[in-house]
Amino acid sequence: MNQATPFITTDDTGLLIIDVQGRLAHLMNDTHHLHQQLSTLIQGAKLLELPIIWVEQLPEKLGETSPDIKQLLAPDLSPIEKHTFSGWHNDELQKAIKAANCKNWLLAGIESHICVYQTCKAMQLDDYQTHVVSDAVSSRTKENKEYGIQMMLRQGALRTNVESALFELQQCANNERFKSLVKLIK
């Protein structure tokens, strides 16, 4: 039986950035690498013209999005504030996701075993195909990061990484956008 899944394309894929906020972001396992990967992913998504949605959990308590990530998103975008662990339980996020008209969503952010996992699970239950970008998610411990990823996979999410996702979306190497993408990755 063939269990291959369709390719993700720029026509049906969006990027959801979850809770990469100041005080919490600095507590993540390998936070420097996480921020590098998030930066590459966001810049690549912009280059590929993907819809990007960004959420913050209780910003009045956890702080705003980390400055290095926020500068890549603002002023073009504004964060959607949430108070639930699953971003999907926020009406404003659901409206934004539905308005983007994408069936596939790349998920990145923190923490993989709490907010990213619960958002992923709820979106899967609502028939969206989620793709956890494993090198652009984290938790305070490596074990919880991996546990969160495994829980998402059990819910039907697909595992990818920054480079795999961006090159799958790019599809070919014979245009200027590819050259820009390669410079971004290197």
User: Does residue 55 register a pLDDT over 90?
Assistant: yes
Catalytic residue among 70, 82, 121, 145: 82
pLDDT given at position 1: 61
- Position 155 scores a pLDDT of 96
Tell me the C-alpha distance between 114 and 124, whole Å: 15
Highest mean pLDDT among 20-34, 53-67, 132-146: 132-146
To the query of whether residue 82 is one of the catalytic residues in this protein, the response is yes
How much is the pLDDT for 2?
62
- Does the global pTM surpass 0.75? yes
**Catalytic-role residue among 19, 102, 135, 145:** 19
CA pair distance 36, 60, nearest whole angstrom: 25
**Where residue 75 falls among pLDDT bands split at 50, 70, 90?**
confident
Q: Considering only CA atoms, give the Rg of the chain.
A: 15
Specify the pairing of strand 80-82 against strand 104-110.
Answer: unpaired
CATH number of 13-185: 3.40.50.850
Of 74-78, 110-114, 124-128, 146-150, minimum mean pLDDT range: 74-78
User: Looking at per-residue confidence, does 139 or 186 come out higher?
Assistant: 139
pLDDT band for position 16 (cuts 50, 70, 90): very high
Annotation says 115 is catalytic: yes
Q: Give 180's pLDDT tier (boundaries 50, 70, 90).
A: very high
Instruction: Please state the rounded mean pLDDT for residues 28-38.
Output: 94
Domain extents in the chain:
13-185
Closest CA to 118 of 86, 140, 92: 86
Q: From the candidates 30, 95, 98, 115, which is the catalytic residue?
A: 115
Asked whether residue 76 carries a pLDDT value surpassing 90, the answer given is no
